[in-house]
Amino acid sequence: MSAQTTTAAWQRLSLDVSQADVEACEDALLSAGAVSVSLEELGDEPILEPKPGETPLWQRVRVAGLFEGCLNPADIMAALYAQLRPALLGEFDHQFIEEIDWVSQTQADFPPTHYGDGLWVVPHWSEAPVEAKTVVRIDPGLAFGTGQHETTSLCLDWLDAQNLAGLRVLDVGCGSGILALAALMKGATEAFGTDIDPQALKASRDNAALNAIPENTFWLGLPEQLSPTERFDVLVANILAQPLIELAPGLAPHIKTGGRFALSGILNAQAEAVAAQWLAQGLMVDHIESRGDWARVSGHRAA
């Protein structure tokens, strides 16, 4: 690694260490002048559905510090050697990073995207394609749910295939509000969105404004604020398998007779367990659809 400074805007130095050494490396990078530190997976060790309050880590972790480009890399390494045992510095990587136009990069990463027969999700800076039948405008990055992930696209495809005119829709774990907004733009008269994250509720409200959705047609609140007597024609929930299993007894009664539901955020191997729990609530499971590693469970309440 060169000891000379460059004109690059940033530099990144990463250490590959065991889980037990992550905290010490984080502290050392920050003390050496890092403006931020990130943790990255090494290898293929997925972490799924941590319990509330848990922050699980992989057995091997890449701890990466982002430094200003004007700092001398040799000085950074000297500061790290003063704080960490030499063995922790045996596997490191250093690179200079040029300044990035993050606005342009973000816009390039989120082009208008097509779902189903004619549903398009369009970032607020783009024009909708002329062939779009239904357009949902989204501010990417406000909360989970831009349509890019398989779980969201599975739900959007399902919604686009439904006749939603005049119906009431419940979106559980609404995130960005994308599913509820798609339902409203396809003719639903009212949507309710719940989420445990207040920031997600704000993102949903902001995205509703982008689509000129009146507040009185899109109710938003924490799960406990939803009255247990509310009944809906359609329920969508794009969360995780374990919450879908645990919440089934409380969510199923919200579905009217003849009402429909679609559940995602489910790995393929978890789909049968989710379906079984919703069957146990007196509902019918019509189909399990897979896309990549993910699945959607859909069904209805029989008349």
Kindly report, residue by residue over 210-266, the tens digit of the pLDDT. Answer: 999 999 999 999 999 999 999 999 999 999 999 999 999 999 999 999 999 999 999
Q: Which domain holds residue 92?
A: 10-99
The CATH number linked to 24 is 3.30.70.120
Our count of domains for the chain comes to 2
Q: Are residues 211 and 122 in the same domain?
A: yes
Q: Are residues 232 and 202 in the same domain?
A: yes
The CATH number linked to 240 is 3.40.50.150
Q: Given 55, 72, 99, which residue is the final one in a domain?
A: 99
Pairing of strands 218-221, 190-194: parallel
Q: Are residues 169 and 193 in the same domain?
A: yes
Half-sphere exposure of 274 (CA within 13 A, CB side): 31
Q: Are residues 130 and 92 in the same domain?
A: no
Q: pTM of this prediction?
A: 0.69
pLDDT digits (tens, 9 = 90+) for 42-58: 765 454 444 444 445 57
> What whole-number distance in Å separates Cα of residue 113 and Cα of residue 221?
28
> What whole-number distance in Å separates Cα of residue 13 and Cα of residue 214?
48
Residue 10 has pLDDT above 80, yes or no: yes
Asked if residue 174 lies in contact with residue 219, where contact means CB atoms within 8 angstroms, the answer is no
Beta bridge partners of 36: 66
Q: Are residues 179 and 254 in the same domain?
A: yes
Q: Given 99, 133, 151, which residue is the final one in a domain?
A: 99
**Is position 1 within any domain?**
no
- Average pLDDT over every residue of 70-79: 94
pLDDT value, residue 49:
46
Q: Are residues 125 and 221 in the same domain?
A: yes
Q: Given 78, 99, 120, which residue is the final one in a domain?
A: 99
**Is position 255 within any domain?**
yes
Q: Are residues 276 and 169 in the same domain?
A: yes
Pairing of strands 60-68, 36-41: antiparallel
**Is position 2 within any domain?**
no
Q: Are residues 263 and 134 in the same domain?
A: yes
If one counts every other C-beta atom within 10 angstroms of the C-beta of residue 10, the result is 17
**Is position 4 within any domain?**
no
Q: Are residues 80 and 113 in the same domain?
A: no
Q: Are residues 62 and 201 in the same domain?
A: no
Q: Are residues 59 and 111 in the same domain?
A: no
Q: Are residues 68 and 161 in the same domain?
A: no
Half-sphere exposure of 174 (CA within 13 A, CB side): 33
Asked if residue 57 lies in contact with residue 39, where contact means CB atoms within 8 angstroms, the answer is yes
Residue 133 has pLDDT above 80, yes or no: yes
**Is position 93 within any domain?**
yes
Helix 178-185, helix 150-160: angle, nearest 10:
20
Q: How many residues does the chain have?
A: 303
Which tokens belong to 134?
Answer: 């239904």
Residue 143 has pLDDT above 80, yes or no: no
Residue 150 has pLDDT above 60, yes or no: yes
**Is position 283 within any domain?**
yes
